[in-house]
Amino acid sequence: MKQLSLSASVLGSNCLRKLWLIANGIEGPEPDEATRRIFDIGKALEPVAIEWERRKGREVFYNAKSHEDDPDFVLEVGRGVIVGRFDAVFDREILVDIKTCNLNKFAKLLEGVVPWEWLVQVNVYFFGLKLGCCRDDIRELVESIKKVGIYGVHKESGKTVEVVKDPDLRIFEDVLRKASIVFSTEDPFVLEIDADECNRCKFRGVCKDLGKHVGKELEEGVGKGLEKGTGEDLGRGGR
């Protein structure tokens, strides 16, 4: 039986149907060129931001990786797994995800307000690493991590902001609950959705069309323009 998989970067979604589609390896329509470029800019800025922090004299572990690399942790939840690849650890204590931001998001971070999806992502990294780290080379580092954080880079100005928080076990427990429901459900159309997410969802326009026949579509590997994938969301990092 195929292993179901959800990455930390998508688990902030409140649409369990979306999580089901991702868990079953469906990526949705290919992103357009503009979206790809935004993603590429975010990736390109990561090592630059790391260098800025090192220049300040900080100890920074940069987890340079690609979507093809093995995950840093694997947590078994029922018939599926939660996986993740974190960005960096600052000062051996703060596990951070690096986000390139528009002015609006950057201003929110300056006020200490972290978007829910990002908060979930870093908490899943934290507890996922503590419970299911599968890399010998970072075990000691993982033991020393105490906080989670978002490191925001404002694209236009190059200004940065760092919001650091205590890990939140309740967030992680809620993620386990969601993943458990998604992994144990056969029909995605019985799952709870969040209509507020539809406008920015990559499955917009296709999830409803699949209707009750989604199981058959997946079995045949047709998916009406959908493609099989790894479950890692291109939108990772909120770029």
Residues making contact with ligand SF4 (CB under 6 A): 15, 17-18, 193, 197-198, 201, 203-204, 207
Cβ pair 9, 118 in contact under 8 A? no
Of 92 and 204, the one with the shorter C-beta distance to ligand SF4 is: 204
Cβ closest to ligand SF4, residue 26 vs residue 142: 26
Q: What is the DSSP letter of 133?
A: B
What is the per-residue DSSP string for 32-95? PHHHHHHHHHHHHHHHHHHHHHHHTT--EEE----TTSPPSEEEEETTEEEEE---EEETTTEE
CB of 207 to ligand SF4, least distance (A): 3
CA distance 232 to 222: 20
Beta pairing class for 4-7 and 80-84:
parallel
Choice between 95 and 206, CB closer to ligand SF4: 206
CB of 162 to ligand SF4, least distance (A): 30
What Rg, from alpha-carbon coordinates, does the chain have?
Answer: 18
**Residue closer to ligand SF4, measured from CB, 56 or 200:** 200
Q: How far is the CB of 227 from ligand SF4 (least distance, A)?
A: 16
Nearest distance, CB of residue 133 and ligand SF4, angstroms: 31
Residue number with CB closer to ligand SF4 (47 or 225): 225
**CB 34 to ligand SF4: min, Å:** 20
